[in-house]
Amino acid sequence: MKNIQEVMTQEFYVSGMHCAACVRRVEETLLTVEGIVSAQVSLATETALVESIKGRLDPMDIYHAIDEKGYGISVDKGSDSIDVVLEEKRTQTRLRTDALKKNFLVSLIFCIPVLVLGKISWLPGLPDIAVSTYRLLWGVSALLTLPIMGYAGRQFFVGGWKAFRQRDANMDTLIALGTGSAWVYSVIVVIFPSYFPSGTALPFFEATAVVITLVLLGQYLEARARGKTSRTIEFLMDLRPLKATLVIDEVEKSVLVNQIEEGMTLLVRPGQKIPVDGHVTVGSTSVDESMITGESLSRRKKVGDKVIGGTTNIDGTIRFCADSVGEEMVLSRILELVRKAQASKPSIQKSVDVLASYFVPIVMILSVLTFVGWYNWGPEGSLNYGVVAAVSVLVIACPCALGLATPFSVMIALGKASERGLLIRNGDVIEKAHRIDTIVLDKTGTLTQGSPEVTKTMPRHGIPEEDLLRLASSVEIGSEHLIGRAIVRAASKRKLKLIEATDFLSVPGLGVGATVEGRVVRVGSFTFLKNAGMSVTRETTGLDDTTEVGQTRVFISVDNEYFGAFMIADPVRVGSREVISRLKHADVKVLMLTGDHEITANAVAEKVGIAEVRARMLPSDKVEHVLRLQESGHVVAMVGDGTNDAAALSQADVGIAMGDASDVALESADVVLVSNSLKGISELRDISRLAVANVRQNLFGAFIYNVLGIPIAAGVFYPIFGILLSPMIAGAAMAFSSLTVVTNANRLHSSIENGLKRQWSG
């Protein structure tokens, strides 16, 4: 259906989710709504990314479906605009945090007297209190607990009731059942004490009050901690200035950035932010692009150079022409990539979601079995013991910790990667990148700077250089290949007038051809021209394998007659040798696959320290080589920049494209190196390693917490130590288990920064 009908993507803010089971439930519910073809829900970002058939989705259908399940969704703000969605998320997060704070404070105000009254017999120096007085105090406690349950903790009971009506269960169910049953049991004990053997049953209203108060405190602190995990996106949003200076007929006018249109001329003074993407038309300056590329050094900009919206002008006043505005800007595309990546799910999270969907029902069964066990085989007062243990099991179980263990860590890692100029399309990359043991590199535009220049024009005897260059440029004018661009630039420098070409044909990895003034012109490798019917031999061209070692040779034929050649040089990227040395030191196999000549390929490989080289490779050869490596058990990353690398980028376990790569390569890649620095490859592995370690810590902690906590709450150690866990302690443990996971995930901010500093300072 996606291939036939137009699909639109919208993002909605979802409230009321607490655990992985909630996420799975919301996703399943969304998929039942007519018109929706896919739905991806993130607990970390509290958003739902929905793909639907255009014109088939009624937002109110989403609202009703989600509301019936006990969750909230902002259907009026559903949008494909990142500004709308993120502003809505900011607002809703602030409102939720404020509401949790208010509910916690209300609960605390009523909880303190309930706790004091419940433990009044512990206070020293008080005379013996009559049973009737105790019953009065218990009655007061029951009444004081009602505002806690009915107002401050209302969300748990409403959510639990909605889940029950849907024949479902969630974390609200556990809290509502645990605290509600404790309160009901306590009321029965107070009103009908004669139903119980003397001294065997005691109320514990304080358990209900304290559990709800502590859970609210935990959720409030967690909500505050959540804000730190999304600070990368908010930082990127804040890069954009609100106003800009427009120049019309030499008159300056202040306008809002959202009023800027393509083609407008804008003025930027030192210290100001560049409002939109464009190219410099007047002046020169240095620009700080670190917030986009991750590179700390400023870049010099002169007339004709591109500038990126959101970057900072340092020392010169410039005028520039707006080329891209709104969501077409580089910064907007980065925000979109980061946002969608953070909403995606790594494979491990999908497995956890499935596990969590069974978690709550299992806990409820264990709670019932705990009560039955205590009631039938417990000591005197077994009913009281059974209720306490059953409530503790319900309250201590924490599906939240399991649900939060992965997405928060991945979300932070994706954000930190974007700060380093690494744009990652989905969370699976974070999970896989640390396992990369083989890196395949293209040559042109990857190991080299991607700014090749024609160093020599060598026409056949009797043919003017200008004619050779004009014909070749007329064919290459529409090419995205770096070498083609170099030939066109050479013609532009000589101000040659190009000729319209028709019947354009591109053979990736070999060359291009077109009809120019009725003649068939081909530009590419000697093999490409030879296979097309050119009769000349390599010797007659005057070029052998020793000519201009390290440079790329490009040949031209006209109607299958040899016309001449170009020598093209492309400097090696700065720092490439150091990066490759570090990768090899980390036991990563590094090799080069290129369509270029062996002599040129080996010359570049020697400069950067690569021993294994495969030259004269077609795009299909690159794919086959990557596949063979994978079949041998290697986890392969392919790094390239051209259209001819797209297939290999897709085949690799992790496809990495340079920032100035062709559109086809960018679409095929999992990761984009915005800074065009190969340093990003090593940083990607380090970020992945640290993030995966953090996820494992979170999952281990959440798993151990539940595996140990539930049996302890059930009272398995009572026969040995004579101690039974109080529901209040169980509630405190549950409240702070998820907070611990979020706090540990937030450690990634500093651990990634410090880890990368150590890697590159050592």
474 located within any domain: yes
Within-domain flag for 726: yes
Which of 569, 589, 613 terminates a domain? The answer is 569
Report residue 289: phi and psi, to 5°.
-110, 15
Sorted by sequence, the CB contacts under 8 Å of residue 477 that are 6+ apart come out as: 488, 498, 501
Concatenating the DSSP letter of every residue in 180-240 gives HHHHHHHHHHHH-GGGS-TTS----HHHHHHHHHHHHHHHHHHHHHHHHHTHHHHHHHHTS
742 versus 628: the higher-pLDDT residue is 628
pLDDT tens, 658-705? 887 666 667 788 998 888 889 999 999 999 999 999 999 998 988 888
pLDDT exceeds cutoff 60 at 77: no
Question: Across the beta sheet with 265-268, what order do the strands follow?
Answer: 251-256, 243-248, 265-268, 318-324, 277-282, 306-307
Check which CATH number belongs to the domain holding 520 and give it. 3.40.1110.10
Q: At a CB cut-off of 8 Å and minimum separation 6, what does 297 contact?
A: none
Structure tokens at 354: 């499935």
Measure the CA angle with vertex 721, ends 391 and 210; round to 5°: 30
Q: Which of 610, 645, 674 is the last residue of a domain?
A: 674
Residue with tokens 């969304």: 30
pLDDT of 128: 61
CATH of the domain at 38: 3.30.70.100
Angstrom distance (rounded) from CA 509 to CA 383: 79
- What value, to the nearest 5°, has the Cα angle with vertex 48 and ends 45 and 54? 145
pLDDT at 127: 54
User: In angstroms, rounded to a whole number, what is the distance separating the alpha carbons of residues 507 and 139?
Assistant: 86
Q: Which two tokens stand for residue 502?
A: 């028709």
Together in a domain, 577 and 565: no
Active centre residues (catalytic): 442
Residue at 723 is within a domain: yes
Query: Does the pLDDT of residue 210 top 50, yes or no?
Result: yes
Residues 351, 227 within the same domain: yes
Beta-bridged to residue 331, according to DSSP, are: none
Q: How confident is the model at residue 226 (pLDDT cuts 50, 70, 90)?
A: low
Least confident residue range of 79-88, 533-542, 611-620: 79-88
CA atoms within 13 A on the CB side of 622: 34
Task: Indicate the residue among 24, 50, 80 that finishes a domain.
Answer: 80
265-268 and 243-248 beta bridge pairing: antiparallel
CA angle 607, 611, 617 (to 5 degrees): 95
**How many Å apart are CA 757 and CA 762, to the nearest integer?**
8
**By C-alpha distance, which of 680, 656, 693 is closest to 759?**
680
pLDDT at 78 over 50: no
Identity of the residue numbered 175: I
Mean pLDDT of 544-550: 55
Structure tokens that stand for 722 in this block: 């004579």
Strand partners, 232: none
Residues 222 and 351 in one domain: yes
- Classify residue 761: in a domain, yes or no: no
Buried b (16+ CB within 10 A) or exposed e, 458-467: bbbeebeeee
Q: Which residues contact 64 (CB under 8 A, 6 or more apart)?
A: none
Gap between the Cα atoms of 147 and 155, Å rounded: 13
**Pick from 483, 426, 522, 475: which is nearest to 642 by CA?**
483
Give per-residue pLDDT as tens, 227-250: 655 666 666 677 778 899 999 988
Tens digits of per-residue pLDDT, 598-607? 888 898 999 9
User: One-letter amino acid identity for 178?
Assistant: G
Same-domain status, 621 and 532: no
For residues 42 and 23, the answer to whether their CB atoms sit within 8 Å is yes
Check residue 451 and report its DSSP letter.
-
Q: What mean pLDDT is predicted for residues 407-421? A: 86
Residues in the chain: 762
pLDDT over 70, % of the chain: 89
User: Would you state the pLDDT for residue 2?
Assistant: 41
Same domain, 707 and 634: no
- Rounded to an integer, the average pLDDT of 528-553 is 72
What residues does 9 pair with on adjacent strands? 51
Can you read off the two tokens belonging to residue 315? 């020392």
- The verdict on residue 640 lying in a domain is yes
Q: Which amino acid is at 752?
A: I
In a domain, 270, yes or no: yes
Domain of 249: which CATH number?
A: 2.70.150.10
d(CA 438, CA 681): 12
- For tokens 């086959």, what's the residue? 624
Report phi then psi at 431, rounded to 5: -70, -30
* Same domain assignment for residues 430 and 481: no
Q: Are residues 531 and 442 in the same domain?
A: no
Q: Is the pLDDT of residue 17 over 50?
A: yes
What CA–CA distance (Å, rounded) separates 308 from 278? 7
Q: Lowest mean pLDDT of 73-87, 107-121, 626-640, name the range.
A: 73-87
Label residues 258-290 b or e (16+ Cβ within 10 Å = b). eebeeebbbbbeeebbbbbbbebeebebbbbbb
Same domain (yes/no): 443, 491 = no
In this structure, how many other beta carbons lie within 10 angstroms of the beta carbon of residue 707?
A: 9
For residue 85, being part of any structural domain is answered with no
Choice among 196-200, 447-451, 649-653, 727-731 with the minimum mean pLDDT? 196-200
The answer to whether 661 and 647 have CB atoms below 8 angstroms apart is no
Single-letter amino acid code for the residue at 103: N
Higher pLDDT, 625 or 3: 625
> Do residues 606 and 739 share a domain?
no
Tell me which H or E stretch contains 252: strand 251-256
Q: Write down the pTM of the prediction.
A: 0.75
700 with 640, same domain: the answer is: no
pLDDT at 81: 54
Instruction: Give pLDDT, residue 674.
Output: 84
**Shared domain check, 258 and 374:** no
Quick count: other Cβ atoms within 10 Å of Cβ 131?
8
Residue 679 lies in a domain: no
Q: What is the DSSP letter of 263?
A: T
DSSP symbols for 269-338: -TTPBP-SEEEEEE--EEEE-HHHH---S-EEE-TT-EE-TT-EE-S--EEEEEEE-GGGSHHHHHHHHH
User: Mean pLDDT throughout 355-380?
Assistant: 88
Q: How much is the mean pLDDT over the chain?
A: 85
- Boundaries of domain holding 644: 422-448+572-674
Residue 193 is classified by DSSP as G
Q: Which of 5-19, 78-92, 286-300, 447-461 has the lowest mean pLDDT?
A: 78-92
CATH code, 643: 3.40.50.1000
User: Looking at residue 1, what is its pLDDT?
Assistant: 39
Mean pLDDT for the stretch of residues 324-343: 79
Supply the pLDDT for residue 543: 63
> How many domains does the structure of the chain reveal?
5
Instruction: Note whether 471 and 506 are same-domain residues.
Output: yes
Tell me the C-alpha distance between 241 and 255, whole Å.
11
b/e burial code for range 547-573 (CB count within 10 A of at least 16 → b): ebebbbbbbbbbeeebbbbbbbbbebb
Q: Read off the pLDDT band of 117 (50, 70, 90).
A: confident
